[in-house]
Amino acid sequence: MNALDTAYRHALKPILFKFKPDAVHEAFTTIGEAAGRFAPARKLLDLAYNYRGPDISKTVDGIRYRTPIVLSAGFDPDGRLTRILPALAFGGEEIGSVTAHPCAGNPRPQLTRLVRNKSLVVYKGLRNEGVDALISKLKRTRRIPGFVLGISIARTNGPAAATDVAAGSPRCSSGEAGIRDYSESFEKLNEANICDYFTINISCPNAFTGETFADPVLLARLLPRLREIPCTKPVYLKMPINVPWEQFAALLAIADKNKIHGVIIGNLNKNYSDLAYPGDAPKQFRGGLSGAPCWKLSTELIRKTRDRYDRRFTIIGCGGIFTPEDAMEKFAAGADLIQLITGMIFEGPGLMKRICERYASTAAS
Ligand SMILES: Cc1cc2nc3c(=O)[nH]c(=O)nc-3n(C[C@H](O)[C@H](O)[C@H](O)COP(=O)(O)O)c2cc1C
């Protein structure tokens, strides 16, 4: 850990953590967006936080990542940070989740910190400006060469995209409104040609009627419809981590049949009893947990998926990465790339560089 990491841990973080997490997230996005427009600010961050060791680039599904670390979906839903994240040693970012229609998200607070649990309660409810705004934003923004952009697509959070879904009983529904909603976003984004890969998010725990398309019956209807849209880019599926292995395996089988390139394992943990200190959690469900409570479930599912499908799927490992050792365990379990958010918030913007250095030294030994 270098001086900057120590300064973040002992000086900046204690101050930031005194403010409401919703406000800190918004402030950082605004500052990061402004810094991205300003070359000297980018250069300064680059000098402090970028990775400069031996080549650790990796090509996955034909896409070259300068480093194998991608910012996970949800931190930058509206694509405002594409010009600053490369300076923090990220090889790419997953923008979104974006939805066909703008969405204000759930009532605030949309984020709650559970500090000693190393977790956030995430109740964003897919707050985003919608697919049209994202397309025009990315078309106006000059891309940093070599920085990979993925876009995560979710179903619009609200009753209109779920008119035929009875809450709690998706099996009784056709899912048609939701399928049209996903298709609309996918079609527009594919046509706009503004990113390198797509993710279909079927596992947002905080949206109207829940994770409807994590039901194998509905996923088996959704994916063939998305395949009707001619897309030459890799398409990944963002997986739930709280479902039994039988259901997870059924989702993988449907993904396999529908030529999905890979899976991101995975999304937030809905189970508050997985917290080290469950008493710190809200008394009623108030969103999924990020960070440490995702670690074990996601790593086990990565291992099982690799065991069952060998190299059939690209696997992007995500959930509870706070140290270079955590990252290396995700790779050892079978991940081709990793994604993170919460580790960066708790450990600081130097985390990605430290992971890259460890990755390089492991590759060399
Ligand atoms: C603030 C926040 C917002 C999130 N929003 C989304 C989202 O819109 N779509 C999605 O697929 N995952 C979303 N997630 C889940 C993350 O992408 C990731 O799967 C999860 O946080 C586990 O990774 P971590 O432990 O490194 O944070 C969100 C997570 C956080 C912390």
User: Which residue shows structure tokens 């995500």?
Assistant: 318
267 lines ligand 1 (CB under 6 A): yes
Residue nearest (by alpha carbon) to ligand 1 atom 14: 74
73 lines ligand 1 (CB under 6 A): yes
Rounded mean pLDDT of 281-287?
92
Q: Cite the beta strand spans of 280-353 per DSSP E.
A: 288-289, 314-318, 337-340
State residue 350's pLDDT score. 97
- Judge whether residue 210 has pLDDT over 60: yes
The pLDDT tens digits for 88-134 are 999 999 999 999 999 999 999 999 999 999 999 999 989 999 999 99
State residue 341's pLDDT score. 98
222 lines ligand 1 (CB under 6 A): no
Please, what is the Cα angle at 33 between 58 and 288, to 5 degrees? 70
- 10 Å CB burial of residue 168 (0-12, 13-18, 19+) is exposed
State residue 138's pLDDT score. 98
124 lines ligand 1 (CB under 6 A): yes
Model's pTM, two decimal places?
0.96
State residue 172's pLDDT score. 47
State residue 164's pLDDT score. 60
268 lines ligand 1 (CB under 6 A): yes
| Angstrom distance (rounded) from CA 339 to CA 298 | 12
| Angstrom distance (rounded) from CA 317 to CA 331 | 8
- Judge whether residue 59 has pLDDT over 80: yes
Pull the structure tokens for residue 58: 């990796």
Which of helix, strand or coil describes residue 105? coil
Average pLDDT, the chain: 94
Residue nearest (by alpha carbon) to ligand 1 atom 25: 291
User: Which residue shows structure tokens 């990605």?
Assistant: 352
- Judge whether residue 135 has pLDDT over 70: yes
- Centre of ligand 1 from the C-alpha of residue 364, in Å: 32
290, 329, 351, best to mutate for ligand 1 pocket (most atoms within 8 Å of CB): 290
The pLDDT tens digits for 153-199 are 999 987 777 666 554 444 446 789 999 999 999 999 999 999 999 99
Burial state string for 281-296 with b = 16 or more CB within 10 A and e = fewer than 16: beeeebbbbbbbbbbe
Beta bridge partners of 317: 265, 338
Choose the weakest-confidence range: 15-19, 54-58, 163-167. Answer: 163-167
- Centre of ligand 1 from the C-alpha of residue 206, in Å: 11
Task: Identify the CA nearest to 219 among candidates 257, 184, 246.
Answer: 257
The pLDDT tens digits for 233-254 are 999 999 999 999 999 999 999 9
First to last CA, the chain: 21
- Centre of ligand 1 from the C-alpha of residue 74, in Å: 5
CB 157 within 8 A of CB 100: no
CB atoms within 10 A of CB 109: 16
- Judge whether residue 53 has pLDDT over 60: yes
State residue 163's pLDDT score. 62
Using pLDDT thresholds of 50, 70 and 90, give the confidence band for residue 26.
Answer: very high
Domain at 3-364, CATH class:
alpha beta
State residue 110's pLDDT score. 94
Using pLDDT thresholds of 50, 70 and 90, give the confidence band for residue 319.
Answer: very high
